[in-house]
Structure 1
Amino acid sequence: MRIGLLTDVYTPVVNGVTNFIRLHKRELERRGHEVWVFTPGHTDYQDDEPRVVRSKAFPLSDTGYHLSFGYDRRTRRILREMDILHAQHPFLSGIIAAAFGQRYDIPVVFTNHTRYDLYAQQYLPLVPPSLSETFLETFFPAFTQRCDLVIAPSQGIYDLLRSWGTRCRIEIVPNGIDVEAFRQPVVRHRRAEVGIPEDARVAVFVGRMSGEKNVAFLLRAFAPVAQEVPYAHLLLIGGGPRLEEYRSLASELGVDARVHFTGQVPYKEIPGYLALADFFATASISEVHPLTVLEAIAAGLPVLGIHSPGIADSIEHGYNGLLAQEDPIAFALKMARLFQDDDLRERLGQGARESGERYSITRTTEHILELYQELIAAKRRSKRVFSLAPRLPSLQ
């Protein structure tokens, strides 16, 4: 099978979407399929994998994303040879996939990886929420109507897509991760490398240091906990536009000696950093089905999060983690409990190890591959029926 994965961003950018695409592509190739990635920008980047097609595009500041007005002739020629097109974003790659799918009768799949409503509030603060909601409620029904299938990584996102007016077929398939990489880290780290005492209890967060991840909330919730629990430390892994702002905030809150920032680290080292921690904490409410949370679960870490779509679909309260309301005091109380209660952490960690297997990339890719095969077979049947349909007599 020739599979085209269309995305608005790919390596060298590291985020949940690019990590998923690399893992999904690798697993499909392991099963003998021919997989192509089509992405704009970074045309001078030296890929370490085959069949990545990059098109010229204009960079959008330092976001890693690019603005493209279409693909060149070579890219279009390769695209129309695909058996299926799978878009990872709706606005650029999704529109292109829908257009090529319609023109060349190729099935189109779209996975919704992002809470576009919350990202609009974060990055377009001058746009009233009602206006961005109206746009999404106008765009998504029209776009998804041109797709053969939409994949929602969680029940919460399924419900959100329906609320935006999506009426086409939607299947829920969780994002997949390399479970073994997080159970048995190849690269190991020591707590001393990041300034954490060996006898400390450590909460860890992995993600972009930016507003939509709600890191300021996490720091403010940790501050009173640090005062009450002298052995509590917080490890923040990741780079981003607000990294220095968060360093300053930690200092203002008087917890800079207990909050440890690594900055951007190579993705292959993330499992080793997670192994330093006792539990994972996130205050983000902009998630779809966050890979960093799933990776923490695979690593056997209990997860503390805010009850919201995506997060609540990943954390089973009392089994593999704890959920709190979006209230700093409520969040801080549950964080303090995880720092102090060793038996609770052990029990939730066992639940995390048991639940991690369901997110294996092997399992999720197998499910998606079955959907690909079903859509391709249906398309071929419809072509056959059309070719056998009786022709109307000519009027000449």
Structure 2
Amino acid sequence: MRIGMMTDAYKPHVSGVTSYVDLNKRALEALGHEVYVFTFGDLEHPDEDPRVIRSPGLPLSDTGFYLSLRHSTQAQRIIQTMDIIHVHHPFMSGRLALIYGRKRNIPIIFTNHTRYDLYAQTRVPLMPAEVSMGMLQAYMPAFCENTDLVISPSRGMEKVLRQYGVTSHIEVVPNGADLQPFLSAAPLSREKFGFDADDILIVYMGRIAPEKNLELLLGAFAGVSRAVPRTKLLVVGGGQKEHEEGIKEFANELEIMDRVKFTGTVPYAKLPSYLAMCDIFATASVTEVHPFSVIEGMAAGLPIVGIDSPGIGDSIADGETGLLSVDDLASFTAKLTALCLNKDLQKKMGAAAQEASHQFSIENTTKIMLSHYTRLVSNTKPIKPSIEERLRSVLKEFLE
């Protein structure tokens, strides 16, 4: 099967979506399928994979995203040879998927990876929430109705899509993760980072970005560190330089910089060993849909402390694999403090989290997704291009 993944951003940009596309591409190719990625920008990036097709775009600051209204002629021609198109962003890539795919009657699947309502509030804080929600309610229902299948990575995100006004059928398919490296990783030396063996080491792993709510996490850690002196915080990940500097300044204002270590961006292959040396995984993000980093933390045997929200609440069994808090500084601080004070509970929840992580293995989720691909392809008869269209395409490419 020829599968086209259409995404607004791809490697070298680091995000849950780019990780998802890369991991699923490799899993599907291991089963013998041809998987292409169609994206924008980073034309100079040394792609070793000839099936990553990049089209020009205008960079949007240093976000890793590019603005474009069309794919190159070469990309369009290849897209129209796919058996199925899987879209991972609804706006640029989603609109273009409908334009290119519908000409050939190619089935189109859309996975909603992002809380666009909350993302808009953090990225464009001056925009009233009612305006951003109104825009989503105007766009998303019609877009989803024009696809052949809508995928939500969690039940919580399915409910959010319904709030957007989406009435189309939605299948829930969790984002799969490659668990094996995290199940058996050897821990790094704590001494290398200035931590002691008996420190209670809390880790946050993910992008440093406004929507990740790191201010609340740092505020909670400041409270925890006063109650439990042996606690330390490891922040693994990078982000936009301006926001990184702002977060470090906030930690300095809280007078906790001597207890917090920022690693910056870490190669993905090394992440399992970072997690393996820690005791607790904590995140205050409420914008997740089905967070890779949380699943990977579970696979590493760490109990999770998070906020009860779509994505996080779908992944964590409160009181079993971790602790869930309301979106409130005092509540989050109390939950994190309670777990730091109970070593036996950390071990018990960590073991349960590792066991629960197996349901999210890439092997399981790929089988589910592939069954949807197969069903849609078998029920759809593609339309071949006419001779005139093929000649027009060749002429257009020659002129470019």
CA contact (8 A) 2:40 2:66 kept: yes
- Kindly indicate whether the alpha-carbon contact (under 8 Å) linking 2:86 and 2:108 is maintained by their aligned counterparts in 1: yes
Identity of aligned residues (%): 46
Give a deviation string over 1:159-207, Cα, whole Å, max 9, x none: 1111211122210000010010111237x52112222112101110011
How large is the RMSD of aligned CA atoms in angstroms? 1.4
Mean Cα deviation higher: 255-264 or 238-247 = 238-247
Q: Name the aligned partner's letter for residue 74 of structure 2.
A: R
The CA distance in 2 between the partners of 1:183 and 1:47, in whole Å, is 29
SS in 1 for 2:358: helix
Alpha-carbon distance between aligned partners in 1 of 2:305 and 2:49, rounded to the nearest angstrom: 36
Instruction: Give the corresponding residue for 1:123.
Output: 123
Displacement after TM superposition at 1:264 (Å): 1.2
Which consecutive segments of 4 or more residues in structure 1 shift more than 6 A? none
| Structure 1 match to 2:257 | 256
Q: Distance in 2 between matches of 1:381 and 1:104?
A: 6
Pairs within 5 Å for 1:188-337: 188-241=187-240, 242-337=243-338
**TM-superposition CA deviations, 1:94-129 (whole Å, max 9, x none):** 111122221110000000000000011011112111
Q: Is the 8 A contact 1:236 1:262 kept in 2?
A: yes
Counterpart secondary structure, 2:381? helix
Could you say what secondary structure the match of 1:332 adopts? helix
Contact 1:304 1:335 (8 Å CA) reproduced: yes
> Given residue 227 of structure 2, which amino acid in structure 1 is its aligned partner?
E
Deviation of 1:339 after TM superposition, in Å, equals 1.1
CA contact (8 A) 1:237 1:262 kept: yes
Matched-pair contact (CA < 8 Å) for 2:105–2:381: no
When residues 331 and 99 of structure 1 are mapped into structure 2, their CA distance, relative to the original with a 3 A threshold, is same
CA contact (8 A) 1:303 1:322 kept: yes
- Contact kept, 8 Å, 2:105 with 2:382, in 1: the verdict is no
Moved more, 92-101 or 282-291: 92-101
TM-score (norm 2): 0.93
| Equivalent residue letter for 2:258 | A
1:1-396 correspondence runs (5 A): 1-185=1-185, 188-241=187-240, 242-380=243-381
Q: Distance in 1 between matches of 2:258 and 2:274?
A: 19
**SS of structure 1 residue aligned to 2:380:** helix
Which letter does structure 1 place at the counterpart of 2:359? Answer: R
Flag the 1:63–1:382 CA change in 2: closer, same or farther, 3 A: closer
How many Å separate the matches in 2 of 1:16 and 1:368? 18
Q: Take 2:26 and 2:184, find their aligned partners in 1: how far apart are those partners?
A: 19
Structure 2 CA distance for aligned equivalents of residues 379 and 267 of structure 1: 38
Which residue identity lines up with residue 349 of structure 1 in the other structure?
Answer: G
Give deviations 1:119-155, integer Å, cap 9, x for gaps.
1101111211111111000100111111000100000
Deviation at 1:249, TM superposition (A): 1.6
Deviation, structure 1 residue 312: 0.4
Deviation at 1:382, TM superposition (A): 12
Alpha-carbon separation, structure 1, partners of 2:101 and 2:295: 32
- How many Å apart are 1:158 and its aligned residue? 0.5
With the length of structure 1 as denominator, give the TM-score of the two structures.
0.94
Q: Tell me how far apart the structure 2 counterparts of residues 192 and 111 of structure 1 sit (CA, whole Å).
A: 42
Task: Answer whether contact 2:7 2:38 (CA < 8 A) is retained.
Answer: yes
The residue type equivalent to 2:97 in the other structure is: A
User: For 1:374-396, what per-residue CA distance to the aligned partner results, in whole angstroms no more than 9, with x for missing partners?
Assistant: 1111113999xxxxxxxxxxxxx
Whole-Å Cα distance in 2 between the matches of residues 193 and 71 of structure 1?
Answer: 46
**What does residue 388 of structure 2 align with?**
none
Which one-letter code corresponds to 2:189 in the other structure? Answer: R
8 A Cα contact 1:14 1:267, kept in partner: no
Structure 1 counterpart of 2:8, which letter? D
